[in-house]
Amino acid sequence: MNRRLIPPYVWTGGRTRPSRNVLDRLTVLRAATDRVPSGVSPAGQRVLEILRAGALPLAEVAAHLSLPVSFVKVLASDLFDEGLLIVRAPTPVEGDQRPDPQLLERVIRGLRALQ
**pTM score of the predicted model:** 0.68
Which residues pair with residue 30 across a beta bridge?
Answer: 86
pLDDT in tens, 4-36: 566 665 666 666 566 666 788 889 999 998 888
> Would you state the pLDDT for residue 101?
86
pLDDT-derived band at 70 (thresholds 50, 70, 90) equals confident
The domain limits of the chain are 8-114
Cα 115 to Cα 105: distance, rounded to the nearest angstrom = 16
Indicate the DSSP class of residue 37. Answer: -
> Would you state the pLDDT for residue 22?
73
Q: Which CATH number fits domain 8-114: 3.30.1560, 2.60.40, 1.10.10, 1.10.3470?
A: 1.10.10
Torsion of CA 68, 47, 107, 111, to 10 degrees: -50
Average pLDDT value for residue range 65-93: 87
Using an 8 Å Cβ cutoff, are 41 and 50 in contact? no
